[in-house]
Amino acid sequence: MIPELGHFALALACVLALAQAVLPIVGAARRDPRWMGTAAPLAFGQLIAVGVAFGALLWAFAVNDTTVSNVVANSHSAKPLIYKFSGSWGNHEGSMVLWVLILSLCGAAVAAFGRDLPTALKARVIGVLGWVALGFLGFVIFTSNPFDRVWPPPADGRGLNPVLQDPGLAMHPPMLYLGYVGYAVTFAFAVAALLEGRVDAAWGRWVRPWALAAWCFLTLGIALGSWWAYYELGWGGYWFWDPVENSSLLPWLAGTALLHSAIVVEKRDALKIWTVLLALLAFTLSLLGTFLVRSGVLNSVHAFANDPTRGTVILVLLMVYVAGSFALFAWRAPKLAPTGIFAPISREGALVLNNLLLCSIAAVVLAGTLWPMFADILTGAKISVGPPFFNTATAPLAIPLVVAMPIGAMLPWKRGDVWAALQRLWWAAAAALVVGFLFLAALGYPVWPALGMAMAAWLIVGAAADIVDRIALFRRPAQAWQRARGLPRAAWGAALAHAGLGVTIAGIAGMGVATDTLVALKAGESTRLAGYEWRMEGLSDVTGPNFTARRATVTVLQDGQVVTVLTPERRTFQVDRQTTTEAAIHTNAMRDLYAVLGEERDGAGVLRLHHNPLAPWIWFGAVIMALGGGLSLSDRRMRVAAPAPKAATVPA
Amino acid sequence: MSESPTSPPQRSRRWMLYAPLGLAAAAGAGFWVMLRGLQTGEYDPRGVPSALLGKAPPDFDLPPLEGSDLPALAIADLRSPLPLPAPVLVNFWASWCVPCVIEHPQLMRLSREGVRVFGINYKDRPADAAAFLQRHGNPFAKLGRDEPGRVAIDWGLYGVPETYLIDRQGLIRWRYAGPVTPDVLDKDLRPLLRRYA
């Protein structure tokens, strides 16, 4: 009964979305306040309907209702409750329901908090969100019904892919979706602006919180995915330039560019056409990622579920949204002429440079991801593009971007002086040189990791220099505290986010000098790696809630002192006979000791041991970036202009 | 309105506003062809039907991996003396290839079970390849190094990893582009190994 209720709620939401897609937009075109007034109630109604559907799905998973085929395929009564819940969105059908739920949440948030929005703009934004919701609800109902029944019901479910039974991964899709769907809102704002034929500073101010919130969640989502790959897949790596990873990085790059260009719209009333295009692009790339992952057109290690028939439907949706919005763009963009004047050496000039570089990186990543597929259909050539291409092609673009970041943040609006900015940054430059030299000469780092360390120092000290300069810490120390308190939170947020990128780069540079070894050890034997002694204490059997495992106990010693005891496991899940490796990781924030248990040979366990300097900094930096974004979101200016509802949401 | 006298260059650049639409349309058409191809089998990102099925592999003679004591691989190893004692696998791999890491345990298992697995190391640095085998174990009875990738072209390699099954008569019977996962091993490869044993 409850699953039917969920199915009915989905159908109801679909009808409401149709109304939401038509009434407010027609109302805005006819300037009819009653029609425009339907936008908010329809958005709330849709949230309720989709919420009921999602609740029904959760309920089916929680009670392990084996008459629902989705539960049978993805759940099992022996699973811990949290993974029963995460199983509901860990599969294709459920994840699409979650997608629509977040979308309707955003629609309702625009309706509830956008009281200051001009009525027509608000009606159009909600209307465009209605179109997006309509497409995806139709997709769910007609091709991926999560409430399909099976009869007779099997005794129990077939379990969830054990690789996916993990807290990191339980949180990873909702985070990414919050990001992707956040870009649906900026997309809606862009389309509404095109319909209206007007983009002004106020528009930039309303778009920015959404771009910022989406960016924060996407940053966290990508970091979680990378962290999960690091500790769960047991390869010791954190980023593989896999097409699926790239497809989450692409909207992030476009979204980061959008975030910065929206500031120019707001402050200088310029870059309007470009900003609108970026808002369209960020969402396009989010949808492209969904298409690539779900349709099976690419060969990836991450493709868990795909189906060409669904791919066709997603492609049609993609083309309707993308071609529709780009056609509208080509037709209406000339109306959005810039009014501000532009000097190349200025804050806005630096932000344009930021945009150019970010978009170039995005273009390189996009080309590298799609080229093998297109080369195949165009010429029949079978080529593969791997990490060497991405590393060599993005580095020359990323380095100037990083070099320009602190300088750009120092330049004033309208008309700046690079030399003056550099003078205020001299100690950041000195710190970068010292750090680079120290790592190169004293610690014997290779060139690239040492360069990475210098870049990291440049960003972190540069961000500090920016704040010190703004509060005049050295020039007028007496009033520094006063000025620090008066400094807008957006300034603090920007500095924090820039420093966070520096922390991430330091982590990546540290991973550049990671060492590892493969050894077969019997109980009592030991090996040395990176100045540590790793002693195998023995192998044992352990039993978990739905798995059995083989566990190695490895004591790590330094100078005779026990540092930690690592217990890597190889787990076998009874239900589907899958085996996973559980890496054991000990971190002290400066380095990770990482052990993976492989096969066993003549009583000896094969261990892969890694020493990963600064590895945690990669994800810690991403958290700092997201915190910076959050701090910026809490800026009073944003709350006054357009309250940022998502800032208050606890990360799901 | 905005096409005011202040912005004459805008008019000449208006075509640029159509560029995103054009690119998106081209990409959409390409994706459409791919999806159609997926259903008809003309486009397949994983298993590409090989022109060599049922034929003998092309001639080659590859150098060994320096620094390892593995014997080198040449066509003679797949031809003489016929019939071969058992079917063999030829696996193209590289240390820079992530799916190869996923595939590796299955190759290790096969080699422990006595299946002869020959490796061709594709476009790789010798030190990296040796480190890979050091780290993940060596499943290969013989290993040739194809640094320029010429042998791969002759075989019609789609990408790495890619695996060929050669029967006892020395003919290619099966080709799999992509990692041999436990699933592929149980559902495809083991039955084939039994059939051609």
Establish if A298 touches chain B: CB-CB under 8 angstroms: yes
Residues B172/B166, Cβ–Cβ less than 8 Å: yes
Domain of B13 in residue numbering reads as 8-40
B50 falls within a domain? no
How would residue A358 be classed by pLDDT, with cut points 50, 70 and 90?
very high
B134 falls within a domain? yes
Q: What is the dihedral angle through the alpha carbons of A494, A106, A248, A619, rounded to the nearest 10 degrees?
A: 50
A246 falls within a domain? no
Instruction: Give the pLDDT of residue A308.
Output: 62
How would residue A1 be classed by pLDDT, with cut points 50, 70 and 90?
confident
What is the value of ipTM here, to two decimals? 0.78
- Cβ <8 Å between A299 and B136: no
Q: Are residues B113 and B164 in the same domain?
A: yes
Q: Are residues B31 and B82 in the same domain?
A: no
Chain A interface, best mutation among B1, B16, B35, B52, by max A CB count within 10 A: B35
Please tell me which of the candidates A237, A329, A386 has its beta carbon nearest to residue B20.
A329
Size of interface A-B (CB pairs under 8 A): 118
Please tell me which of the candidates A281, A308, A388 has its beta carbon nearest to residue B35.
A308
Going A88 to A94 to A99 to A101, the CA torsion angle's sign is: negative
Q: Are residues B36 and B80 in the same domain?
A: no
B156 falls within a domain? yes
A575 falls within a domain? yes
Q: Are residues B29 and B82 in the same domain?
A: no
Establish if B16 touches chain A: CB-CB under 8 angstroms: no
Q: Are residues B166 and B80 in the same domain?
A: yes
B190 falls within a domain? yes
Distance from C-alpha of A140 to C-alpha of A11, rounded to nearest angstrom: 10
Token pair of A466 as six digits: 């920016």
Percent of chain A exceeding pLDDT 70 equals: 92
Among residues A91, A125, A160, the one where a domain terminates is A160
Instruction: Give the pLDDT of residue A206.
Output: 86
Establish if B108 touches chain A: CB-CB under 8 angstroms: yes
- Cβ <8 Å between A334 and B24: no
Establish if A301 touches chain B: CB-CB under 8 angstroms: yes
B170 falls within a domain? yes
Who contacts A185 (Cβ-Cβ below 8 Å, separation ≥6)? A106, A110, A125, A129, A210, A214
Instruction: Give the pLDDT of residue B50.
Output: 62
A599 falls within a domain? yes
Average pLDDT estimate for A146-155: 82
Shortest distance, CA A299 to any CA of chain B (angstroms): 5
- Cβ <8 Å between A382 and B48: yes
Q: Are residues B93 and B31 in the same domain?
A: no
Q: Are residues B90 and B28 in the same domain?
A: no
B122 three-class SS: strand
B71 falls within a domain? no
Q: Provide, as residue numbers in chain B, all residues whose Cβ is less than 8 Å from the Cβ of A197.
A: 1
A112 three-class SS: helix
- Cβ <8 Å between A337 and B7: yes
Please tell me which of the candidates A273, A308, A608 has its beta carbon nearest to residue B39.
A308
How would residue A433 be classed by pLDDT, with cut points 50, 70 and 90?
very high
Please tell me which of the candidates B20, B33, B96 has its beta carbon nearest to residue A388.
B96
Instruction: Give the pLDDT of residue A497.
Output: 95
Among residues A133, A160, A187, the one where a domain terminates is A160
A482 falls within a domain? no
Number of domains in chain A: 2
Q: Bigger pLDDT: B56 or A648?
A: B56
Average pLDDT over all residues of chain A: 86
What stretch of H or E contains A529? Answer: strand A526-529
Q: Are residues B188 and B136 in the same domain?
A: yes
Domain CATH code at residue B183? 3.40.30.10
What does each C-alpha distance from B152 to A208, A319, A462, B75, B187 come to in angstroms? 51, 37, 49, 13, 26
- The model's pLDDT over A287-309, given as tens digits with 9 standing for 90+, comes to 898 888 777 676 554 544 456 67
Average pLDDT estimate for B162-169: 90
B120 falls within a domain? yes
Pick from A470, A465, A420, A408: which is nearest to A264 by CA? A408
Instruction: Give the pLDDT of residue A565.
Output: 92
Instruction: Give the pLDDT of residue A256.
Output: 95
Q: Are residues B23 and B98 in the same domain?
A: no
- The model's pLDDT over A14-52, given as tens digits with 9 standing for 90+, comes to 999 999 999 999 999 998 889 988 999 999 999 999 999
Q: Are residues B30 and B126 in the same domain?
A: no
Number of domains in chain B: 2
Establish if A290 touches chain B: CB-CB under 8 angstroms: no
Q: Are residues B94 and B191 in the same domain?
A: yes
- The model's pLDDT over B107-149, given as tens digits with 9 standing for 90+, comes to 999 999 989 999 999 888 888 899 889 888 899 999 999 888 8
Residue A616 has pLDDT above 80, yes or no: yes
Who contacts A440 (Cβ-Cβ below 8 Å, separation ≥6)? A447, A450
B57 falls within a domain? no
Domain of A565 in residue numbering reads as 515-616
Residue B41 has pLDDT above 70, yes or no: no
Chain A interface, best mutation among B31, B103, B136, by max A CB count within 10 A: B31
Pick from B168, B167, B189, B169: which is nearest to B178 by CA? B189
Percent of chain A exceeding pLDDT 90 equals: 40
Question: Between residues 549 and 608 of chain A, which touch chain B (CB distance below 8 Å)?
Answer: 598-599, 606, 608
Instruction: Give the pLDDT of residue A307.
Output: 61
Residues A257/A280, Cβ–Cβ less than 8 Å: no
Shortest distance, CA B7 to any CA of chain A (angstroms): 8
- Cβ <8 Å between A273 and B17: yes
Among residues A144, A160, A176, the one where a domain terminates is A160
Q: Are residues B26 and B122 in the same domain?
A: no
Chain B interface, best mutation among A301, A391, A608, by max B CB count within 10 A: A301
Residue A192 has pLDDT above 80, yes or no: yes
Q: Provide, as residue numbers in chain B, all residues whose Cβ is less than 8 Å from the Cβ of A277.
A: 20
Q: What is the dihedral angle through the alpha carbons of A286, A292, A293, A295, rounded to the nearest 10 degrees?
A: 130
